Structure 1
């Protein structure tokens, strides 16, 4: 059953422990650092709950991201739902509720991965999927370890006690993108662990308001925004990132997915379709984001009157080619879908294309941003400090006179340029460039994994066939 945006916002008023700038945040729905983004996420829920998009977003009473796809058409339908939510934030909200929803559906497709000799997490993984889907919950995750460099493994989440009803954990995890806005958070690891490192080989999901759970927020771009006119993206779509700290947190056994098993703790991401589902959602969002950025480029050149210059049309053509590349990866991953567990777990997006997409996106995004910056030139530097300059009775007419463009009022031109700066050059924009490079892992990891995706043998075979087709002969 879906919930409304109002119901989602109400769920956030649960006493969760969030810290920012040395202050404990009492209510993320009303705090200046979080309230607008919380409202943007609530809007996503309203789109699903009761709007013209409900039929696209909801299937059999749950969000389509929670469904286990059985056919290529199911993947297409799920991607169509992803696209609706991605367009609502212009691609700038990455870890929306449909992201981990796809991961949970991946767990449900292959629950046997969670069954080990010492612990059976399969029923817990299925219950996790059902709980999220039925409750229309927002799950975030923290699956990276803090880096100390001194071998201090006490920094990383680990079990410090076992009880009849569950375990007690202590330590920290990173990076909790969107976690302050979530209902639950998965705490685990996607990083390789040594075979003997069973102390850190665990994964569990708990409510964000669990006692002893603390979230330390990074700088809030929303809090620093002057307003929607001056910072149209960072004021509304700052999904935030936070450090998760566990101080003797009690986790009931039924919320533990893997326990003291290195293989299962990795396999839950890589042997189930969970990671491939992540990429499917992210690739759809990335395609949408490039569409948006390219639209900014087109509007910038049209406003400047440079849109018909050959060099400019070529640059816009290059950006449109990038959009087509991003789209092609999504469609190709769907078209090359693979059976899961011999078909018993439905289908998943093609692994080879999905792995390649994360390489492409991390390399393409900075190029797209640079291309648009070149088109914008110095226009995005010399801007009024805020909308107050335009509204001032004496200064407003001066700004309006000197910052207009042919056929465009100063207000409309400044509005566009401020949008461009927020997307391309602000601190918020810098975070997004870094995010697109690294949110699916370090590039060297992705590049290495690409060699395992199945394409290398075919490439080698074709080259060897050419070599085998001729010989060294005298006189030739």
Structure 2
């Protein structure tokens, strides 16, 4: 059964080792750097546990993200669940619990992929999915290696010893988004590994209170937020990113998914539906986030009294076109679904469209932010330091007089523009722009992958058909191509 928000918050008080600003945080549910965001995650659990949205978010008492989709209709149902949770944070909580839940469902669809030449993790992959689903757990992941990882002093997570019942690991992983709020963290790698990387070719999942497991948080935007009025997004939806350090951590065998297997450590992402499931969730969230930003643009234009000017209506039209593009990629990936393992593993979103979505999102988000900044103009810069100015006995009348517009009283306008600044120009906003650019990896990776996932052969064949359809002696004709009607 799904957990309540209260049950989720109680699970975070487990003695986990979280560090922020040189301080070990005893209870993230009470600390000003984490507590409001923890409450936001708890709100997601409440939506699934007992709300009008429960029937959309769950089936049979389990979140729909954990289900292995068996049909197009199942993909649509899963996306509708993604959309509800995405809208709850306006798209600003990226790695919500349904993200890794969908990845676990991908593992469960093809557990045989975890069966290598020296280690068989197929049973553990099934158990991992079952454990998360039945207990409604929030699992984060850390799958990126430190930049200075290789060399004599290898900093990547690797095996240092085998013991009865498990292994001992040491090293670090970066960009543990949402990890401080999770029940478990999956530690692995999605980066290419070579034949000499067997010690680092492993994947495992551990509870956050495991001895020797540390999370070192980046600065907390929530901690720096002055109030919800002044920082409406960063004060509540700072999912955080952390460095994970394994200091001789013991990992039981039942928690190990891949071990000393370079091929299966990579295949678990690419040969199961896991990665495409990730894209399905993130593409739905991205679509939602663009809807929110475009709504902000419309409200700003109306507040400025410029919404009827042709250049402004064109700018809004361009943003609405971006929203439609984001939506179209989600719907197209579902409609182009592919069978998994001949149907035995259900279905997955279409790979070609899913991979292309990564390109679109990374390029579209900065353009959308720039377009909305242009619509807002200098109004984003000249804002009162805080909402306290509005209620100050001396300053309040001045602020209310000089910040009003014909469309909005001062308080409404300041509230709108502070929301816009938090979304577009604050340090929190800068993190989100960088995040969306690299959410699905670096461009040189996903652009290269598109060359083999896309329909390059079909494109080449169509161009070749035109070239082959004429020569120096060809006279006038209908001009109809040889490829006409193939339905590619």
Deviations 1:30-85 (A, max 9, x none): 00000000000000000000000000001111000000000000000000000000
The range that moved more, 385-394 or 65-74, is 385-394
Pairwise mapping of residues 442-453 of structure 1 onto structure 2 (< 5 A)?
442-453=442-453
CA distance in 2, matches of 1:451, 1:475: 36
Runs of at least 5 residues in structure 2 that lack an aligned partner in the other structure: 477-488
2:244 counterpart of 1:254: no
Instruction: Name the counterpart of 2:162.
Output: 162
Instruction: Name the counterpart of 1:81.
Output: 81
CA distance in 1, matches of 2:54, 2:431: 32
CA distance in 1, matches of 2:298, 2:106: 39
CA distance in 2, matches of 1:74, 1:406: 49
CA distance in 2, matches of 1:417, 1:197: 50
Instruction: Name the counterpart of 2:437.
Output: 437
CA distance in 2, matches of 1:154, 1:442: 23
Return the offset for 1:454: 4.0
SS at match of 1:155: coil
Return the offset for 1:394: 1.1
Deviations 1:98-136 (A, max 9, x none): 000000000000000001121110000000000000000
Pairwise mapping of residues 108-147 of structure 1 onto structure 2 (< 5 A)?
108-147=108-147
Q: Cα–Cα, structure 1 residues 158 and 149, in superposed 2: closer, same or farther, change >3 Å?
A: closer
Normalising to structure 1: TM-score of the pair?
0.99
SS at match of 2:168: strand
Return the offset for 1:153: 5.1
Alpha carbon RMSD of aligned pairs, Å? 1.0
Deviations 1:297-356 (A, max 9, x none): 000000110000000000000000000000000000000000001100000000000000
> Does structure 1 conserve the Cα–Cα contact (< 8 Å) formed by 2:214 and 2:246?
yes
Return the offset for 1:474: 8.7
CA distance in 2, matches of 1:343, 1:195: 33
CA distance in 1, matches of 2:475, 2:304: 66
CA distance in 2, matches of 1:324, 1:408: 29
CA distance in 2, matches of 1:113, 1:280: 21
CA distance in 2, matches of 1:152, 1:296: 51
SS at match of 1:93: coil
Pairwise mapping of residues 321-470 of structure 1 onto structure 2 (< 5 A)?
321-470=321-470
CA distance in 1, matches of 2:22, 2:224: 16
SS at match of 1:214: strand
Normalising to structure 2: TM-score of the pair?
0.96
- Structure 1 residue runs of 4 or more that deviate by more than 4 Å after TM superposition: none
Q: How many corresponding residue pairs?
A: 476
CA distance in 2, matches of 1:286, 1:171: 32
CA distance in 2, matches of 1:62, 1:445: 34
Deviations 1:131-181 (A, max 9, x none): 000000000000010011772452000011101200000000011000000
2:15 counterpart of 1:15: yes
Instruction: Name the counterpart of 1:319.
Output: 319
Instruction: Name the counterpart of 1:182.
Output: 182
2:278 counterpart of 1:278: yes
Pairwise mapping of residues 97-116 of structure 1 onto structure 2 (< 5 A)?
97-116=97-116
